[in-house]
Structure 1
């Protein structure tokens, strides 16, 4: 069982403007309808997209710079929030996968900040954001098993399994939230100007939305480690 994620000192040193927020939620299910809780966040994203494209948003520009620093093409390896915003702009809606994922995706596009959600029971020990050694095990949603490249920033657990690749670009299958998920860890990260204050606002909005969908859920205090 984990209560938080940590960031390797090398990540903190390389990206000193990094702001993050973490919350653990328990007692959830796949039964509720989250549409009312997600609507204001999706509407906020649509309003922003009506005036500028996702690539022009300062939150996304900050992540594009990070992707470039990692030696990747920003338009090929988009952070999760940019990918969702792009889909919202092109298709007018977001996919409905699981109420918790839907809530996180809606808040993510509303703030243009990537949010990752993990099934805690499928994480071995602690979860850290660190450079890969190159021998970690990553399972894609298609079932393909790969090892991330050495130096690539990943979400890794104590068993050396990679739960997300290229930092906020690609979540894996191992800890994906599904119909049997009851406890989850939610992690948000940002690097743009004013990201600490935005992270606090995001945390409040996210926890409020989770409580609205699951009134009896255990929602721990939002922390910004």
Structure 2
């Protein structure tokens, strides 16, 4: 059995002391649900309704959770209105269109929980990550990032990304844009979910979001989730990746 350890580099934690993060590992994702997103539709509707109710009181740009990420992006030298964190982008789309795109049951749940709690929630196909380490760290500049349309990009040196042991980048600009290489698909059986927050009280928000996801994944089984909160005292989450069951 091989293992995969997820963590944030010390350089990232030092630059962003307000970071709160947690991870979830789920096995036995049922590929037969990949073409049937309606199985989670009622739950997705409930979470998006919560987000819409909050949006009715003011735009996402005023949310404390979003403002904290905008400040973090500004510290990284990025224009916050040009590069938005994933939760802000989803909330903006929800506000304008009234609904989120339907992709895959697991992705739909993660997106719905993301808007309900207003924090970025990334879900990756764990079998598409090369271990033993997946680290949120400044890029060296030679990492390979695959877009959803199959193009290859290289994050700029210093850009914060999710980088694995093979030098593959699984995100651009941290929580801005996820890679198509590790996106959940019909062949996905194991997932790694990461929730991150920057606002005051973010640790509680992350815990609530991950607990909600764990409950939903269990209810729509047979996914078996394990969750953990990541702190400066316990910054790593290690999972075992044995031979995958066909």
Question: TM-score under structure 2 normalisation?
Answer: 0.88
Per the TM alignment, residue 36 of structure 1 is displaced from its structure 2 partner at its CA by 2.1
Structure 2 residue aligned with 1:107: 113
Q: 1:82 to 1:212 in 2, by over 3 A?
A: same
Per the TM alignment, residue 4 of structure 1 is displaced from its structure 2 partner at its CA by 4.5
Per the TM alignment, residue 165 of structure 1 is displaced from its structure 2 partner at its CA by 0.8
Give CA deviations for 1:84-138 in whole Å, capped at 9, x if unaligned: 0000000000000000000000000000000101101110002110000001011
Identify unmatched segments of 5+ residues in structure 1: none
Structure 2 residue aligned with 1:27: 28
Per the TM alignment, residue 53 of structure 1 is displaced from its structure 2 partner at its CA by 0.2
The number of equivalent residue pairs is 224
SS of 2:25's equivalent in the other structure is strand
Q: 1:3 to 1:48 in 2, by over 3 A?
A: farther
Per the TM alignment, residue 20 of structure 1 is displaced from its structure 2 partner at its CA by 0.2
Per the TM alignment, residue 200 of structure 1 is displaced from its structure 2 partner at its CA by 1.4
SS of 1:221's equivalent in the other structure is strand
Match of 2:217 among 179, 188, 210: 210
Question: TM-score under structure 1 normalisation?
Answer: 0.96
Q: Does the aligned pair in 2 maintain the 1:3–1:185 contact within 8 Å?
A: no
Could you tell me how far apart the structure 2 residues matched to 1:12 and 1:73 are?
Answer: 21
Structure 1 residue aligned with 2:127: 121
Is 1:45 equivalent to 2:46 in the alignment?
A: no
Per the TM alignment, residue 187 of structure 1 is displaced from its structure 2 partner at its CA by 0.2
Identify unmatched segments of 5+ residues in structure 2: 236-246
Q: Does the aligned pair in 2 maintain the 1:3–1:24 contact within 8 Å?
A: no
Q: RMSD of aligned C-alpha atoms? A: 1.2
Could you tell me how far apart the structure 2 residues matched to 1:50 and 1:222 are?
Answer: 33
Is 1:171 equivalent to 2:172 in the alignment?
A: no
SS of 1:89's equivalent in the other structure is helix
Is 1:182 equivalent to 2:183 in the alignment?
A: no
Could you tell me how far apart the structure 2 residues matched to 1:37 and 1:84 are?
Answer: 17
Structure 1 residue aligned with 2:144: 137
